[in-house]
Homo-oligomer: A and B are copies of this chain.
Amino acid sequence: MKLKINRFLKRTAIVIVFSVMQNTVAQGHPSLVLTKKGVTEIRAKLGKVPLFDTSLAEAKTEVDAEIALGIITPIPKDFSGGYTHERHKKNFLIIQKAGVLYQILNDKKYAVYVRDMLLAYAKLYPTLPLHPQERSYARGKLFWQALNDSNWLVYTSQAYDCVYDFISVADRETIEKDLFKPFADFISIGSPQFFDRVHNHSTWGNVAVGMIALVMDDAELLDRALNGLKENGLPAGMKDNDGGLIKKPGQKTGFLANVNEPFSPDGYYTEGPYYQRYAMYPFMVFAEALQNTKPDVKIFEYKNGILIKAVYALLHLTNAAGEFFPLNDGQKGMSYYSRELVSAVDIAYLYGGKDASLLSIAEKQGRVQLDNSGMAVALAIKKGLAKPFEKKSIDLSDGPEGKDGGVAIIRNKNEGSELTLVMKYAAQGLSHGHFDKLSFSYYNNSSEVLQDYGLARFVNIEQKGGGNYLKENTTWAKQTIAHNTIIQNETSHFGADFETGNQFSSKKYLYDVSNPKVQIISATEDNAYPGTKMHRTMVVLQDEGYEKPLLLDIFQIDSDKANQYDLPFYYQGQMMSSNFTYQTPKTLEPLGKAYGYQHLWKEGIGKATTENTKISWLDNGVFYSLTSATQPTDELLFVGLGANDPSFNLRRDPGFIIRKKNSQKATFVNVIETHGSYNPVTEVATNAFSLIDKIEVVYEDANYIGVTIKNKERKSILFILATNNNSTTKKHQIKIKDTTYTWVGTHYKTIN
């Protein structure tokens, strides 16, 4: 081993081998993401591992083009999307790659580029005041947010590590003294409200400081990164500019706290998949660096291997196209094709037991990280080891102990279509959380059947509020009415108050997918509206009387006073038909005045006149029908998004609302059918009509609810749920219309 290293060392210019710190494996640079040993191995395999080679070639093309442009470090001025922001962002992405190219290709020009870039920043940085854009609660210097400064340092540290030995001692001194040390101090001690919290922001900050600490062998900085500030001097109750609380009293901070707290034991990150994806890069890349430099920390085993579990959780939190479910603040379209997930999947493969199913994701991604983990993945793929990554139904708990509710994903695959229910009964989700207790979204492959709106932001598009969160994110996207769940008295859950919402989570009542034809998630929420208990049960029900599985949605609500309850369904595509009469106003008015209601136009107003209300729509060549067991007093509303939206920041999406007025108790029973198809080329419509003849609540008391779903051929599905006892061994017996039903466990299903 020693011999091998020595042989390799002869090929590099200057080598300094020293112990980085106590308990650290003796090694020189690079040692974070690339290691000396890893580089040797990679070099030996160049040209023989296709996926690695193409990823390397892509990086080379990209970096070469930037080197040709020269070093550009403009005076910071713009918001995200603007020139100076995008330029500095590109710089850090490129020099990280340039550092790697120097190591792998052993071509000095890349080291020169990184060195010169770092020297340019070392010259610029000491001259910089706070960034001129004042919107952030924690402004940076290169960027408008300390967050983006931290992004910069996470990548730049890697570049520095790669060229450390190449740079002269004098230049290193300049770079560390004028750039890295003040930079690390500024984003930590200088920005405690940013650094010293549990949040994706602080994760970036902690990792940035930690990465540069490892390169510079700075034990004090590393301790700060891992364990937070000793003293932060922040006032209690301080909030960030998204309205998020900076720090709960007594909360631990630093990287380890950020691993410990926001992840549930199942690997779900409380902010939601969009931010989990964003934070996954610093989590995983720092973990890799720690593993390479301080294996004794056993970071990948921390909290029962939570970081590896988190990667799996993220992969499960995607639709058939690999796009993350846009829970809480989430931009639609973000997917496991992002660079963060390429990195995360590769690292999870190498450090998480070489699970062959991860290779199929990497194959789809079509590129690998340019390090040992990427080489391991590319090599395994070349050897044909990849196995399919099977996304099955999964229930992901939320909260550090897994006790703060969760997110259930129920999937049913049949004949080329994958129906996916995403039911959210989680905690608030920190500052990026939405007031959407017991909400759900529903997918047919990658098509949204009933959507979660996601965020109201055009990330990095400067025209739209500097690419930042728009006002409508607060006034619409976070509000309850923007979600497929119940709103009481036109007021959002917890009155849309973050602190209140942050104290509570919904509770799981039942998750049972043991029968693939009757997959159930059931959860309760007692705090969104004080005095009101909500219980939602959703069943993905496969029955041969129907072409595709049905989604049965039973929403029971019980309050200590009479209220108005609204249950919206945000369908997509074109309304086809409805079975009730409604008026369409000659002039459109907003549905309400606040809590997001001010953003909906009231396009149609009807009354449920029959026992069942039915609407059908067509989207992406598939028909859908919603059948609802309504009462004649129920109001039915067709709504369209876009009111009070002076800057056209919202999409013009449609919705349908079932409204029950002046009710203390109420039960909403809805069934969503997926049926038929339409092809504009053949112009053939198949199974364009709902097959459901009638749905009926045949039994309801404090302990049970029984629902029947009849199809046109008069076959009837009966589903009974014990609503007050979720024991799987309890015996039940009830009588419905002269028939006695007995069963063991939480629910009963039969067909007559």
User: In whole angstroms, what is the CA distance A94 to B464 when docked?
Assistant: 55
A and B contact pairs by CB, cutoff 8 A, 16 listed: A81-B685, A331-B683, A334-B680, A335-B681, A460-B683, A460-B685, A461-B618, A461-B685, A463-B576, A463-B688, A464-B577, A586-B644, A587-B588, A588-B601, A638-B648, A652-B654
In Å, the complex CA distance between A689 and B575 comes to: 36
Interface 1/0 per residue, A662-687 and B, CB below 8 Å: 00000000000000001011111100
Q: Which of B81, B459, B601, B638 contacts A688 (CB 8 A)?
A: B81
- In the bound assembly, the distance between CA atoms of A422 and B574 in angstroms comes to 27
> Measured between alpha carbons, how far is A333 from B684 in the docked complex, in Å?
13
User: A640 is contacted by which of B618, B638, B652, B683 (Cβ under 8 Å)?
Assistant: B652
Chain A residues near B (Cβ < 8 Å) = 81, 86, 331-335, 337-339, 458-464, 467, 574-577, 584, 586-590, 601, 603-604, 616, 618, 638, 640, 642-646, 648, 651-652, 654, 678, 680-685, 688-689
Q: A334-B681, A652-B652 given; name 12 further pairs at CB < 8 Å.
A: A332-B680, A335-B681, A337-B681, A338-B682, A459-B680, A460-B685, A461-B688, A463-B577, A463-B689, A574-B648, A587-B588, A638-B648
Chain B residues closer than 8 Å to A678, beta-carbon distance: 458, 461
Within the assembled complex, what's the spacing in Å between the Cα atoms of A206 and B682? 23
Query: Which residue on chain B has the smallest CB distance to residue A615?
Result: B648
Cβ-closest chain B residue relative to A340: B681
CB distance from A702 to the nearest CB of B (A): 40
Q: Could you say which residues of chain B place their CB within 8 Å of the CB of A338?
A: 681-682
Measured CA separation A684–B638 after assembly (Å): 36
Known A-B contacts A586-B590, A645-B584; A462 and B685 likewise in contact (beta carbons under 8 Å) = yes
A645 nearest in chain B by CB position: B584
CA distance in complex: A163, B643 (Å): 64
Least distance between A63 CB and chain B CB atoms (Å): 16
CB distance from A4 to the nearest CB of B (A): 39
Closest CB in chain B relative to A577 CB, distance in Å? 4
Interface of A is mostly: loop
For A86, the chain B residues whose CB sits under 8 A away are 684-685
B587 A587 Cβ-Cβ under 8 A: yes
Contacts of A333 in B (CB 8 A): 680-681
Complex CA distance for A638 and B642, rounded to whole angstroms:
12
CB distance from A681 to the nearest CB of B (A): 5
Nearest neighbor of A588 in chain B, beta-carbon distance: B588
What copy number does this chain have within its complex?
2
Of B81, B339, B589, the contact of A587 (CB 8 Å cutoff):
B589
Q: A590-B586, A601-B588, A645-B584 are in contact. Are A688 and B577 (CB under 8 A)?
A: no
Please give, as numbers and ranges, the residues of chain B lying within 8 Å of A460 by CB-CB distance. 683-685
Residues of chain B with a CB closer than 8 A to A682's CB: 338-339
Cβ contacts under 8 Å, A589 to chain B: 586-588
**Chain B residue contacts of A335, Cβ below 8 A:** 681
A337 to B640, CA, bound (A): 35
Tell me how far the C-beta of A687 lies from the nearest C-beta in chain B, rounded to whole angstroms: 11
Closest 8 CB pairs of A and B: A333-B680, A575-B648, A588-B588, A463-B577, A584-B646, A463-B576, A461-B685, A459-B683
Q: Find the residue from A337, A652, A683 having the highest chain B CB count within 10 A.
A: A683
A638 to B645, CA, bound (A): 12
Tell me how far the C-beta of A335 lies from the nearest C-beta in chain B, rounded to whole angstroms.
6
* A640 proximity list for chain B (CB < 8 A): 642, 652
Cα A589 to Cα B644 with chains together (Å):
14
Instruction: Specify which chain B residues have a CB less than 8 angstroms from the CB of A575 in the assembled complex.
Output: 648
Closest chain B CB from A61 CB (angstroms): 16
What is the distance, in angstroms, from A369's C-beta to the closest C-beta of chain B?
16
A331 surroundings in chain B (CB, below 8 A): 680, 683
Chain B, Cβ-Cβ closest to A653: B652
A584-B646, A646-B584 given; A467·B685 CB < 8 A? yes
- Closest residue to A331 on the B side, CB-wise? B680
Closest to A601 in B: B588
Provided the pairs A337-B681, A584-B646, A586-B590 are in contact, do residues A462 and B574 lie with their beta carbons within 8 angstroms? no
CB distance from A458 to the nearest CB of B (A): 8
Report chain B residues within 8 Å CB of A688. 81, 461-463
Hey, which chain B residues are within 8 Å of A467, CB to CB?
685
Residues of B within 8 A of A616 (CB): 463
- Max count, chain B CB within 10 A of own CB: residue among A577, A638, A654: A577
Question: Closest approach, in angstroms, between the C-beta of A401 and any C-beta of chain B?
Answer: 33
**Whole-angstrom distance between the alpha carbons of A588 and B467 in the complex?**
29
